[in-house]
Structure 1
Amino acid sequence: MTSTPPARPVVVITGASSGIGAALAARLAPTHHLVLVARRPDALRALAQSLGAATVVTVAADVTVRSQVDDVVETALAQFSRLDVWVNNVGRGITRAPSQLTDDDIDDMMRVNVKSALYGMQAVLPHFQLVGRGHVVNVSSMLGRVPMATFRSAYSASKHFLNALTANMRTEVQETHPDIQFSLVSPGVVRTEFGANALHGGPDSRTLPNSQSADEVADVIAQVIADRRPDVYTREGMAEMAVGYLRELGKDP
């Protein structure tokens, strides 16, 4: 008698049309079913075609709109009848000093970097609670630990918010559902179009020193999906940097 092979896990990746999201899709395609989400349908279709025989569903959606996030969950369940991992990967930078920030600057950072992740967590949570297990991975930033770039002030603040929100969600949900995990992944500078697409312009991330490739970050996220660690940096030494920053703040002036 032949045994039925285990079903492939189903992973939703937001911000999947380029950068880290596209690299993660390529990394997971051989072993997972994928639901790729972004605002650009043409780019999503091209990515799906590049993945070959992998089972991929594309959804053109703006994840800063709650109803569209709810639709992604419905699409994933309708296609696969299960949903195992949700990766909140949408994000946008900003180039503006804190003394110059406007209401619109703050609203934009919160909408893209925080609300999109909150909507994803809240939309997928009922399904995870129903089946008793699930995993959300929120892509944060080293600037969410160490706000070392003043021109990214509002972005740093939004990632600090995301970090706290993720930790609080984990604590709340695991009181009743310990097998539902919420993980944070914190990259540093990544060689993508992030900098070029930042609000108000700014330096191109692909030209900055000490950067990582999107593939390197995707490898770390894939490992987090496998081992379900709650809080991970994408390069060695980052955790020590964050601890050192907090220690320095605590010293007498």
Structure 2
Amino acid sequence: MTKTALITGASRGLGAALAEALCDSHHIIAVAKTTGALEELDDRIQARGGSATLAPMDITNDAAMATLCRGIFDRWGSLDLWLHTAVHAAPLTPTDHIDAKDMAKSVAANITATSTLITYVSPLLGQAGQAVFFDDPVIATKFFGSYGATKAAQIALARSWQAETAQIGPKVHIVTPAPMPTATRARFHPGEDRAALHSPQSQADKIIASLSASLA
């Protein structure tokens, strides 16, 4: 039976690297807003002999997420793995200057969508599936107010789910990748020496290796 991996935020950076690292053993269900980048990812996956289902949609669209998860159930009946790399990174600003629209987008993507997806994806994972979330050390540093607060809330949701399912499944992992030269990080750290950062591919390989015993 074909193993399946849902990756939300799959078009670039760590999400795309995880999709490529997993495509040898899993059919990839790749979710992102950017159709072109998803198609490029699909080309790379096919070049490796893997397969993918592309889902160009916004995770903040509740109806789209419901349709996606229903489609996964109808086609495969279940899901083996969910990796949630999608995040909204609002511009850096002093906390007392946070733009209301930026905060609303951060709440919608980082908190509400995560909560909704957990509700929809959990039945697909069942007792044997696994979910992976990605923590970020910058959440408590200056100028990261809207991103930091909502990312911390996302991880709080994941930690609650992790504790609740520790004995019954699905197994929930929370990992902290090393800094990578992603587009999101470039917005936060313009002018940074990107040569000193870790490649998304190396981090994807490390994460998959850490899960390998459970994924076997």
What interval of TM-score do these two structures reach, taking the shorter chain for normalisation?
0.7 to 0.9
Pairwise mapping of residues 142-153 of structure 1 onto structure 2 (< 5 A)?
142-144=137-139, 147-148=140-141, 150-153=142-145
1:44 aligns with 2:38: yes
Of residues 140, 143, 148, the one that matches 1:156 is 148
1:135 aligns with 2:130: yes
Structure 2 unaligned blocks of 5 or more = none
Match of 1:104 in 2: 101
The aligned amino acid for 2:95 is P
Change (3 A) 1:205 1:151: farther
Of residues 207, 221, 238, the one that matches 2:207 is 221
What TM-score does the superposition give when structure 2 sets the normalisation length? 0.86
Q: Is the 8 A contact 2:73 2:124 kept in 1?
A: no
Match of 2:65 in 1: 69
The aligned amino acid for 2:10 is A
Match of 1:9 in 2: 3
Pairwise mapping of residues 13-32 of structure 1 onto structure 2 (< 5 A)?
13-32=7-26
Please state whether the residue corresponding to 1:51 is helix, strand or coil.
helix
Match of 1:182 in 2: 172
Match of 1:56 in 2: 52
Change (3 A) 1:225 1:110: farther
| Cα distance in structure 2, aligned partners of 1:159 and 1:224 | 23
Change (3 A) 1:97 1:174: same
Q: Is the 8 A contact 2:165 2:172 kept in 1?
A: no
1:86 aligns with 2:89: no
Of residues 34, 49, 54, the one that matches 2:28 is 34
| Cα distance in structure 2, aligned partners of 1:31 and 1:205 | 38
| Cα distance in structure 2, aligned partners of 1:72 and 1:227 | 28
After TM superposition, the runs of 4+ consecutive aligned structure 1 residues lying more than 6 A away are none
RMSD: 2.3
Aligned residue pairs, count? 212
The aligned amino acid for 1:43 is A
1:115 aligns with 2:109: no
Q: Percent identity?
A: 21
Q: Is the 8 A contact 1:89 1:139 kept in 2?
A: yes
Please state whether the residue corresponding to 2:11 is helix, strand or coil.
coil
| Cα distance in structure 1, aligned partners of 2:125 and 2:45 | 27
1:192 aligns with 2:187: no
Q: Is the 8 A contact 1:23 1:215 kept in 2?
A: yes
Change (3 A) 1:205 1:164: farther
| Cα distance in structure 2, aligned partners of 1:127 and 1:82 | 5
The structure number with the bigger radius of gyration is 1
Q: Is the 8 A contact 1:93 1:152 kept in 2?
A: no
Post-superposition shift, 1:210? 5.0
Please state whether the residue corresponding to 2:68 is helix, strand or coil.
helix
The aligned amino acid for 1:71 is T
Structure 1 unaligned blocks of 5 or more = 1-6, 229-253
What TM-score does the superposition give when structure 1 sets the normalisation length? 0.75
| Cα distance in structure 2, aligned partners of 1:187 and 1:205 | 21
The aligned amino acid for 2:28 is L
